[in-house]
Structure 1
Amino acid sequence: MLEQKSTEPKQPVVEQGTLFDKTELERLTVKRTHWEETSVKKSSQRVPERDNLFTTSSVPIERVYMPQDNANLDYTRDLGLPGEYPYTRGVQPTMYRAKPWTMRMFAGFGTAEDTNARFKYLLKQGQTGLSTAFDMATLYGYDTDHPLAAGEFGKCGVAVSSLADMEVLFADLPLDKITTSMTINSPASAIWAMYIVNAEKRGFPMASLGGTLQNDILKEYIAQKEFLFPPEPSLRLVVDTIEFGTRYMPRWNTISISGYHIREAGATAVQELAFTIADGLAYVDAALERGLKIDEFAPRLSFFFDVHNDFFEEIAKFRAGRRLWARLMRERYGAKDPRSWMMRCHAQTAGVSLTAQQPENNVVRTAVQALAAVLGGTNSLHTNSLDEALALPTEKAALIALRTQQIIASESGVVNTVDPLGGSYFVEGLTDETEHAAMEYIKRIDELGGVLACIQNGFFQREIAESAYRYQQEIDQHKRTIVGVNDYLMDEQIKVPTLYVDYAGERAHLARLKRVREERDASAVRHALDNLRRAAEGTENTMPALIEAVRAYATLSEVMDVFRSVFGDYMEPAVF
């Protein structure tokens, strides 16, 4: 007797965990081959494809992406829902449908008064968070009247030599209602102490303060080179801030692990992601060694990424980074709190992509990069100004940059759904490729002895130098077009107004510094600096002693000189 056939529709055979039917993938592979041999071949004979179709990081791009390029994609494992592990689609369930990202324009120039006025202007124009740039002397831990600070006053940020400057810098601002980011590294704990003391003097307890301290010293040795002390004691100071923030400042991100400067130095998108995550793991290891528990401090770790010109590569980088960090936190470190798995990040459009030639073009570059950051799911964003290849941004240029974000948020429609490019064959394929390539780098770093060993042996520096050299060769050989630089040139010189920092502001700043030294209690300063020295020479957390010192109006140089005398200066080994 013949077996009766079922009248129920046959269910497709699906590979366990994957989205696509194996039989259908095989059929599509045949169809793709036929398409390439017929339609593509005919089209290419008539209009040949261009050469050099690769990302900004020189990753080759396929002609078309199809389900085969996502054959192993498991939705629950690799994507999930927004606000849930592995956070590929974003760290909040409703993302920008609830509220836009924080618009945090980087600002700082000249005197504390100048920058305070710029802060107030930007807040009035709709900025939703503050981001502070410091001048070169401050970044290297020197008072403005130090011989090594000559000629640097206020030119790349605001000068802060003592608590008196911090008091002016944040005067009349609601520090309990806004969040403040401060981009500073070697002197980060001292500058943070000044911010804390100023807030407390105005009636804002430290527990009420929200913000972010960049404080990522490891990337200084890798890329930006604004280090002061050897890596080991510098890492100790970072852990001091992590421990202090964990205990007393629950709203503060005590470190912003930064890929931005790594990318600006010439790294690829994959190198930026991998080296940044490796640095993050080094901070986690150091905090655990201090005795902190992973779920005590990991929820307040934050990240900072560059957004370059390659639209889809940058989107994939953000998505891959969240997934990779979540997996490492949960699987390598056993973190149980979902907040510990989240990679919360700030983004800034690529300063290195801005051109002095035809500077108005930078408005377009910034808009493309900002849109990529938003579609990638950033939590806050700074947009560069059109004149930043020439000077610090003018008020008008900064306003255009802020309006760029506001137009994206209010007019583009990209905020209406979460992760709108999720499921794109191209984006998912590139996300997966980026994650795997970054993880391979992290494994190599581990095999070479970790981040500190790779700083000493020059691994990071060589990798970045080679990438930067390759990128510049591609420009020089016209394999890569930079509009207005190596193509679409114009004979006429286009000039834009630029910001000028005058000497009157420096004189006013120096006069305030002189008054501080004359009017403070000298014995209290000596006592506080002695306490700081004892803390630095021992093993206790240096933050309480730093707070005591800056409260007594010890200057930045005086505080950092204590650390210099205890830890010594660092000279980078030659790398070939």
Structure 2
Amino acid sequence: MKNDENVKAMKDSREKWEESTLDKALSRFPERKEEFKSGSGLEVERLYTPLDIDGLNYNEDLGFPGQFPYTRGVQPTMYRGRLWTMRMYAGFATAEESNKRYKYLVEQGSTGLSVAFDLPTQIGYDSDHSLSQGEVGKVGVAIDSLKDMELLFDGIPLDKVSTSMTINAPAAVLLAMYIAVAEKQGVSEEKLRGTIQNDILKEYIARGTYIFPTEPSMRLITNIFEYCSKNVPKWNTISISGYHIREAGSTAAQEVGFTIADGIAYVDAAIKAGLDVDSFAPRLSFFFNAHNDLLEEVAKYRAARRLWARIMKERYNAKNPKSMMLKFHTQTGGSTLTAQQPENNIVRVAIQTLAAVLGGTQSLHTNSKDEALALPSEKSVRTALRTQQIVAHESGVTDTIDPLAGSYFVEAKTDEIEKKAMEYIEKIDEIGGAPKAIDMGYIQKEIMDAAYRYQKSIESGEQIVVGMNKFQSEEEPVKDLLKVDPKVGEMQVEKINQLKVERNNDEVESKLKALRNACESDENVMPYIIDAVKEYATLGEICGVMREVFGEYEQAVML
């Protein structure tokens, strides 16, 4: 498609096909509906041809795997060299119970751990706080102190596993605990591998487990960047998360645009704090959703990689190729799972797994079939893990790199999503950056509007959800769901009381005072948090000090 004659010939051929073949077929067999749209509302044309990617320049827009702009993947051999990390997200009740689940997952072939924390831990409260009642251990594991973290990783050598922790506002505290546990195991900081989510902007946008206002939150994040760049070099210091943005109802293009806008804000904050872009950018990672529209999702991941590479090179003048690589974890879409006919969720997760792999993910968590009803049982977790293993070892899609490259549809959609995402980024730049766009409610409103449109399409039947709004059937109540013992809260309170009797409380007070002084100054707070953690100061005590110094965030009111 490089010269006018070829373009004209293709247009003429298409017109002849439409007149001689298509029109006759449509007169006999009309199409199923007037308008076809992707899962996130983008128009899908009847047919894609070279005309739809006429402007594509292979070297500039695709390139080769492991080379700028990384559209085709960040590694030269991708899965031919090494499969993605199969990182199953788990955590519930007490540290002891979660430890058993982690060991089970490793036995079943999981190649990475991913920690889910309960709600009180996520918002920096101990289990004995009044606001924690009824929530301890419910949606994740309760971690109140280093003692709990020691139990959580008992018998799990931290120099042999990669661990991801889904924690944001108190991320510095949980990372400090992890470092302290490793030290007790005799594992030095420079050997630790893993990721903390540490993405507070998306909490303001879509998830809600924030504590501190924007400015001190950004300071904590850049303190982690700085500390890890010097002391924990293999650790991914942030997982910039589109996952929750998509779960809140965004489109695929919004997921990419808003996530990368957040990434830009973190890079800006780190540079403002005096860090060189190539000192921290190689350890930035991303976290995306995998939805049901397989081809749109593949295009989304490819567009995100290319967009981030160009931004890092052109906007920030990054020199290190690793600074331009968008490395990402994927989780299958929790919001796509249905309580009705939960066995259908196995199929949905399989499709989403395939999308993530075809899109070049670096690690993947697959949801379990019963997660629309409860925390997953061991049996359903095993099925979710087996889904990844079947795709990896039986489907054949891992044998070649970026197998859908060159598809007229996929390349056209990659371009379209990149363009629409960039339009959002430019709009946020005009506002003054992601933090300001969040404070004024712009991003939240865009997501809410998209979620409303999608929900209307389900309620009208335009968007079919099998087993929910079509193909329903009578069902027996689901059995063998996992239930968290309500006594977990009482057990955690007893642990805290015992801890405060056994520890050196004078040393705890001393370390907390030193932390307060650091918070009130411009010092990096990470060393002070680590010191406090090692003396068994609790999560609530440490976050309490920071609450007093930094204050608490108040969400914008959207009219």
Alignment of 1:62-461 (within 5 A): 62-461=45-444
Cα 1:496–1:90, aligned 2, differ >3 Å: closer, same or farther? farther
> Alignment partner for residue 43 of structure 1, among 25, 33, 40?
25
Residue 508 of structure 1: SS of its match in structure 2?
helix
Contact preservation (8 Å) 1:358, 1:494: no
**Is 1:27–2:28 an aligned residue pair?**
no
Residue 503 of structure 1: SS of its match in structure 2?
coil
> Alignment partner for residue 492 of structure 1, among 448, 470, 475?
475
Distance 1:461 1:122 in 2: 36
> Alignment partner for residue 526 of structure 1, among 486, 497, 509?
509
Residues 314-357 of structure 1: per-residue CA shift (max 9 Å, x gap): 00000000000000000110001100110000000000000000
Residue 527 of structure 1: SS of its match in structure 2?
helix
Paired-residue identity, %: 55
Residue 354 of structure 2: SS of its match in structure 1?
helix
Distance 1:106 1:451 in 2: 28
User: Offset of 1:504 from its aligned partner?
Assistant: 4.0
Residues 401-433 of structure 1: per-residue CA shift (max 9 Å, x gap): 000000000000001000000111110010011
Residue 199 of structure 2: SS of its match in structure 1?
coil
Contact preservation (8 Å) 2:299, 2:417: yes
User: Offset of 1:497 from its aligned partner?
Assistant: 2.1
**Off by >6 Å, runs of 4+ in structure 1:** none
Contact preservation (8 Å) 1:131, 1:183: yes
Contact preservation (8 Å) 2:134, 2:489: no
Residue 472 of structure 2: SS of its match in structure 1?
coil
Residue 5 of structure 2: SS of its match in structure 1?
helix
Contact preservation (8 Å) 1:102, 1:128: yes
Distance 1:25 1:516 in 2: 75
Distance 1:40 1:29 in 2: 15
Distance 2:215 2:20 in 1: 62
Residue 116 of structure 1: SS of its match in structure 2?
helix
Distance 2:367 2:18 in 1: 42
Gaps of 5+ in 2: none
TM-score by length of 2: 0.99
Residue equivalent to 1:5: none
Give the partner amino acid of 1:43: A
Residue 181 of structure 1: SS of its match in structure 2?
strand
Give the partner amino acid of 2:116: A
Give the partner amino acid of 1:276: T
Count of matched residue positions in the alignment of Structure 1 and Structure 2: 558
Contact preservation (8 Å) 1:475, 1:486: yes
Distance 2:474 2:156 in 1: 47
Contact preservation (8 Å) 2:240, 2:262: yes
**Is 1:541–2:520 an aligned residue pair?**
no
User: Offset of 1:494 from its aligned partner?
Assistant: 4.8
Residue equivalent to 1:514: 497
Q: Greater CA deviation, 441-450 or 501-510? A: 501-510
Distance 2:202 2:300 in 1: 18
Query: Which structure's CA Rg is the greater one?
Result: 1
Distance 1:259 1:141 in 2: 23
